[in-house]
Amino acid sequence: MDEVYHETVFFTGHVQGVGFRYATLQVAREFEVSGFAANLLDGRVQVEAEGEESEVRTFIEAVGERMHGFIRKTERKSGRKKPEYSGFMIK
């Protein structure tokens, strides 16, 4: 199977307990992306997203715009890999 574009994103700030993962899921439904959003023990939210590069990049930017008031820092790592997810979910 072909490789897809993939991003791992860590959002830091007041991102837990404010509906961040649910909002991320809602945004994901507007794009052709697969992956998940999960709370981490250190207070960050991790988002894994894969698909066409333009879709993934625009999706992550849309999450940042929708939730900008809660985000203090965003760390993004990207690359290409074999598809791992089917659909987008909250963990």
Around Cβ 70, how many Cβ atoms within 10 Å? 18
Give 10's pLDDT tier (boundaries 50, 70, 90): very high
Q: Is 66 in the active site?
A: no
- Write down the catalytic residue from 29, 39, 72, 76: 39
Domain over 4-90 is classified CATH 1.10.150.20? no
Domain locations in the chain as residue ranges: 4-90
CA distance 17 to 52: 30
Backbone angle region of 17, left / alpha / beta, with phi > 0 → left and psi within -120 to 50 → alpha = left
Asked if the model's pLDDT at residue 39 lies above 80, the reply is: yes
pLDDT digits (tens, 9 = 90+) for 51-88: 999 999 999 999 999 999 999 999 999 999 999 999 99
